């Protein structure tokens, strides 16, 4: 098992999107390791993508998207949810992959506690971009963290999904024509709305 190097992220975003499925998102906080296998993600690419936060051009909020690949872009949304992205491409080319769902691996009981006691079949604990950040304890303090060196990182455990499903991105009002949502086909930990796109063998 090894940490993904910066070169993994410094590539076309759709390549990163496809290959990030099966990798392991890890957060070590207060000496406690929590982690999960990435089973769902979406691409947001460039100022010409109307759903990308870079669409209005550079602002203070979206600055991490314009920075070096391999960093985290964390932002706060709907007044209550943190969402975590991995920045891709290269400096000056704003693009990222949004992590949407994990299969829980390490610290499952701790993650359930963070999510609250009103839940929970375990497989729902990290399903949904707001849910997984809450379960892993990710918030704005991790914005711009270096995913290759910090306590928030992505590891390669040699896991390869058998099939992937590509479909339109969800939860957005614009840019829904692009099929930039990539899911581990049929995985039980996918977020609420299950993809109906086409499945491809790898």
Partner DNA sequence: CGTTCGATGCACT
Partner DNA sequence: GTGCATCGAACGT
Q: Which residues bind DNA (CB under 7 A)?
A: 42, 44, 51-53, 56-57, 59-62, 65, 73, 76-81, 83, 85, 96, 98, 115, 118-119, 124, 128-131, 170-173, 191-192
Q: What angle do CA 72, 118, 21 make, to 5 degrees?
A: 35
Closest separation in Å from C-beta 75 to DNA: 7
Strands (DSSP E) along 46-119, which ranges?
A: 72-77, 81-87, 95-104
Nearest CA-CA partner of 102 in 69, 136, 73? 136
CA 165/CA 186 separation, integer angstroms: 8
- Using the minimum distance from each CB to DNA, give the nearer residue, 67 or 171: 171
- Using the minimum distance from each CB to DNA, give the nearer residue, 79 or 158: 79
CA 114/CA 23 separation, integer angstroms: 23
Closest separation in Å from C-beta 126 to DNA: 9
- Using the minimum distance from each CB to DNA, give the nearer residue, 30 or 173: 173
- Using the minimum distance from each CB to DNA, give the nearer residue, 31 or 116: 116
- Using the minimum distance from each CB to DNA, give the nearer residue, 26 or 135: 135
Closest separation in Å from C-beta 1 to DNA: 26
State CA 149 to chain mean position distance: 17
Closest separation in Å from C-beta 143 to DNA: 10
Closest separation in Å from C-beta 9 to DNA: 14
Nearest CA-CA partner of 102 in 178, 26, 170? 26
Nearest CA-CA partner of 102 in 131, 139, 75, 72? 131
Do 103 and 39 touch, CB atoms closer than 8 A?
Answer: yes
């Amino acid at each position: 098992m090894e940490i993904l190097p910066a070169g993994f992220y410094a590539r076309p975003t759709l390549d990163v999107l496809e290959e990030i499925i099966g990798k392991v998102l890890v957060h070590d906080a207060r000496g406690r390791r929590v982690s999960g296998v990435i089973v769902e993600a979406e691409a947001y690419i460039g100022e010409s993508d109307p759903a990308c936060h870079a669409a209005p051009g550079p602002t203070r909020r979206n600055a991490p998207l314009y920075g070096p690949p391999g960093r985290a872009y964390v932002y706060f949304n709907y007044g209550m949810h943190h969402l975590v992205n991995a920045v891709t491409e290269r400096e000056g080319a704003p693009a990222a992959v949004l992590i949407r769902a994990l299969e829980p691996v390490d610290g499952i009981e701790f993650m359930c506690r963070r999510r609250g006691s009103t839940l929970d079949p375990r497989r729902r604990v990290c399903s949904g971009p707001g849910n997984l950040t809450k379960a892993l304890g990710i918030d704005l303090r991790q914005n711009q963290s270096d995913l290759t060196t910090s306590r928030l990182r992505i590891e390669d455990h040699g896991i390869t999904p058998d099939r992937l499903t590509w479909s339109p991105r969800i939860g957005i009002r614009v840019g829904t024509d692009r099929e930039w949502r990539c899911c581990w086909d049929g995985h039980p930990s996918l977020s609420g709305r299950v993809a109906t796109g086409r499945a491809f063998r790898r």
